[in-house]
Structure 1
């Protein structure tokens, strides 16, 4: 089950369409959907988590805590709406498109994709693009 939670004033306009798309992404990776919680917050909230749990004193757009067991993916995905907006501006893309990229990025991590090295990052970007294309089909 995919659940959306809000620690700020932000609200997804199309929760059902996003959840259906993310579910389709999980199936497309031959995984089972467990409990996946998205928590939308601001920079301050996510920075505190980054420092407290990961010992990283930096701002980030997403932090995911993976509770996957076997083939069933589960976890908590924290998303800084402020960071997503800044990144959308920096990359000159729509906020909605950057948000979808971040949302699917967390799922892809749970599916086993990494992004620490240059080659892994290329694979992750390609997977993001592939899964973003599914959104247009699922609507």
Structure 2
């Protein structure tokens, strides 16, 4: 079982988009060969809220598109049966998602999916600080999006 808890602080995200992101991240979980029960949260916020979060937790006083907080530490081992793997939280700024969708010439829905997947991969330990890691993460991101069928023209 894979549980995603959605929270919309903007009142802009509709149920169809929740469903799309749920299906995309479930697909990504399978593509990443995660067979355990798992859960995470996805929260949609505006520019003010994401800037506050970015400042408080990352010491960066600026707006960003997506922030991820992984709950698992590297090589963490869960002891006990039937305990779902808690991956963490993904926070997406819908204002920035709209701007980026327009900038890149694709739909708002595609941008939300891209940002949700980007955050999900961060929860799994991918990053893009170093150039080699960026190639790996962005390559994997493109593979999953293309296999799912959420391409730039959507």
TM-score, length basis structure 2: 0.79
Could you say which residue in structure 2 is the equivalent of 1:65?
69
Q: CA 1:33/1:107 → structure 2, altered by over 3 Å: closer, same or farther?
A: farther
**Counterpart contact for 2:24–2:117, Cα < 8 Å:** no
- Distance in 1 between residues matched to 2:37 and 2:129, nearest whole Å: 25
Residue number among 22, 26, 29 corresponding to 2:29 in the alignment: 26
Q: How many residues align?
A: 137
Deviation at 1:135, TM superposition (A): 2.6
Could you say which residue in structure 2 is the equivalent of 1:46?
50
Deviation at 1:73, TM superposition (A): 4.9
The structure 1 segments of at least 4 consecutive aligned residues displaced by more than 6 Å after TM superposition are none
**Counterpart contact for 2:24–2:113, Cα < 8 Å:** no
Is 2:13 aligned against 1:11? yes
- Distance in 1 between residues matched to 2:103 and 2:130, nearest whole Å: 22
Q: Once structures 1 and 2 are overlaid, which stretch shifts more, 2-11 or 65-74?
A: 65-74
RMSD: 2.0
Deviation at 1:33, TM superposition (A): 4.5
Larger Rg: 2
Structure 2: unaligned runs, 5 residues or longer? 79-84
Q: Provide Cα deviations, 1:20-69, integer angstroms capped at 9, x if missing partner.
A: 22112112212234221000010100100111111111110011111125
Structure 1: unaligned runs, 5 residues or longer? none
**Counterpart contact for 1:73–1:110, Cα < 8 Å:** no
